[in-house]
Each structure stands twice: as C-alpha cells, then as structure tokens.
Amino acid sequence: MKKKNIFIFIVLTLISVSAVVVFANKWRNNVNYEKITITGNYNIPDSDIFEVARLKKDSVINIEEVNINIIQDRLSKHPEIKKVYVSKEPPAELRIEIIEKRPIATINTGTDLKLIDDELEIFPYKNLDKLYDLPIISGIKIDDNLKVFNNVNKTELKSALKVIVNAYTFSKPFYYNISEVNLSDSSKIIIYTNDNSVPFYIPTKSLMKMNDAEFNNLVEDKVKMMDEFYKTVLLKNLDKEIEYVDFRFSNQVVVKYKNQINGKEKS
C-alpha cells in the first residue's frame, strides 16, 4: 500500500512538472508586453524616446520580437542621452531607464550653438523649440566634428566650465545671472552678468603655472568673491555705469567706472 502511494505521488509530481514546463514554454512563446515604462527623462519627452527606439506607445509587443540590445543601442545615439538601460520585467513590462546629459552651458563653436556638460561633452540641441536658460561660452573655436580641438582650446574650455560649475555649486543666483563666459582674450576670462552686462575679469589657466587642483581652488575663491561683489555692490549700484570689475589680483578688486578719469570719478 505504501509503495502504491509512493508511485501515485511520483506520477502526480511528474505530471505537475510537465504541466509547468508546458505552461512556461507557452508563456514564453505567447506573452506580450502590454506596458512600456520610461523613467529618468526630465527634459526628453516620451514621444522622442518612442520614436528613436522605434516603439509605439500602447502597442502590444511579443516577447520574441523584443531585442533589448537593439533598443538600447538606438536610444544611446540620442544626442541628449548619456546612458540608457532597457530590461524585461515579468510578467508583461518593458522598462526603459534614461540618464540624461546635463547641459551646464551653451557653447558658441564659431559656426553655431551647442550644449556642453561638465565632462566637456559637446552635443547639439535635439529639440529646437526647447529654450535653455544657460550661460554662453564664447570666443573659442571648436572643430566641426565637436571632438577635435587643440590643447590650448581644451584648457580654456575647462577653465570656463570651472567658473560655471563653481558658480552653480556655491551660488545658484549668481550662476543664473551669468550671461556669457568669453575666452577671446588670452590674458583673462571675461564673465558678463545679466545686470547691465558688467564684465568681470579673472585669471586664465594658460597664463598660470598651476595644476588643475590648484587652479580649481583659485577659481572657487574668485567665484565666491564675484558672488559677494555681485550681491553687496553691483545690485546696489545698477544706476552707475561700470566699465569692468577686475578680480585677477590677490585680495583686491579693481572697479573701473565709465565716467572715471585717471582713477577719479568724473562729477
């Protein structure tokens, strides 16, 4: 009797296992993805992602027709996407996780405008109707392929980005009031503010015997000085015409008014 029970148990177990295998194979061959989830896209609209991935929103996709590597490769070519991860999430979800490039400034390449992030990656606007309220870096020539530029240009571009990144880190109000960082003068970096377009001068890396860490500390100090001057002096004297403010000296700020003669203010 016991042997008979064991035999029946074994038979039932085999039948159950077979049923599970058959069901699994049937699910594998017939299940459809009815939900596509996109996350991480703060500036890129879902419609762009569907278009580039060649998917349709609300479409039903058979599991055998989905190649996540191909979808991932297509999306990685989007100019505003830094990284992308595509995964299949049972029972019926296709998940797309986006990491966007974070533009920190607009750069005038000499022929048109591009975006640039804090890792020196230059990329085009994908949506022309999208308006970025970002500082403009000007006065530097970038090759048309956006990758080849000489060491001097790269050094100057790094310097401009250090100014912008430090301003964003330490004082967002000052960052949002930077309209332009101009690199056309080899003796100084010129930062224009939105208020009266007053130019601020700071040292340029190409003229200083400093390593990157030392120069970054210098820029950090200069940004804090510019922010303090902006808040305590410039905003309270918008009625005065300032020709420039020079921050290139140690522990000293030189302000030149347009109506000054020989260092004295004209009455």
**Would you call 155 exposed, middle or buried from its count of C-beta atoms within 10 A (0-12, 13-18, 19+)?**
middle
Q: What is the pLDDT of residue 31?
A: 57
Among 155, 134, 264, which Cα is nearest to 209's?
155
Q: What rounded mean pLDDT belongs to the chain? A: 79
Q: What is the pLDDT of residue 265?
A: 44
Residues 122 and 225 in one domain: yes
Q: What is the pLDDT of residue 156?
A: 82
Q: What is the pLDDT of residue 18?
A: 56
Q: What is the pLDDT of residue 26?
A: 47
More confident residue, 144 or 211: 211
- The predicted model scores a pTM of 0.71
Q: Confidence band (pLDDT; 50, 70, 90) for 32? A: low
CB atoms within 10 A of CB 205: 20
**Would you call 224 exposed, middle or buried from its count of C-beta atoms within 10 A (0-12, 13-18, 19+)?**
middle
Residues 42 and 87 in one domain: yes
Task: Please write the tens of the pLDDT for every residue from 45-95.
Answer: 899 999 999 888 776 666 566 788 899 999 999 988 999 999 888 877 889
Among 100, 122, 151, where does a domain finish?
100
Among 133, 113, 131, 132, which Cα is nearest to 123's?
113
- What is the rounded CA–CA span in Å between residue 256 and residue 130? 38
Task: Say if residue 3's pLDDT is above 60.
Answer: no
- What is the rounded CA–CA span in Å between residue 158 and residue 152? 10
Strand order across the 136-138 sheet = 122-123, 113-117, 103-108, 136-138, 178-182, 189-193, 199-202, 242-246, 254-257
In a domain, 195, yes or no: yes
- What is the rounded CA–CA span in Å between residue 242 and residue 195? 11
Q: What is the pLDDT of residue 117?
A: 87
Comparing 28-32, 64-68, 120-124, 212-216, the range with the smallest average pLDDT is 28-32
In a domain, 51, yes or no: yes
CA angle 216, 218, 222 (to 5 degrees): 115
User: Tokens for 145?
Assistant: 């392929």
The whole-number average pLDDT for the span 14-19 is 58
Residues 232 and 109 in one domain: yes
In a domain, 260, yes or no: yes
The whole-number average pLDDT for the span 111-137 is 77
In a domain, 45, yes or no: yes
Residue 244 domain boundaries: 103-265
Q: Is-contact 62 3, C-beta < 8 A? A: no
Q: Find residue 67's DSSP bridge partners.
A: none
Task: Please write the tens of the pLDDT for every residue from 206-262.
Answer: 777 778 888 888 999 999 999 999 888 888 887 788 889 999 988 889 998 877 555
End-to-end CA distance of the chain: 120
Task: Please write the tens of the pLDDT for every residue from 185-201.
Answer: 888 999 998 877 889 99
User: Tokens for 6?
Assistant: 């064991």
**DSSP single-letter state for residue 64:** G
Residues 85 and 212 in one domain: no
Task: Say if residue 149's pLDDT is above 50.
Answer: yes
Residues 132 and 244 in one domain: yes
- What is the rounded CA–CA span in Å between residue 62 and residue 97? 20
Angle between helices 68-76 and 46-53 (to 10 degrees): 120
Among 83, 100, 117, where does a domain finish?
100
Q: Is-contact 94 37, C-beta < 8 A? A: yes
Q: What is the pLDDT of residue 33?
A: 63
In a domain, 109, yes or no: yes
Residues 228 and 119 in one domain: yes
Q: Find residue 138's DSSP bridge partners.
A: 182
Report how far Cα 114 is from the mean position of its chain's Cα atoms.
12
The share of the chain scoring above pLDDT 90, in percent, equals 27
Q: Confidence band (pLDDT; 50, 70, 90) for 163? A: very high
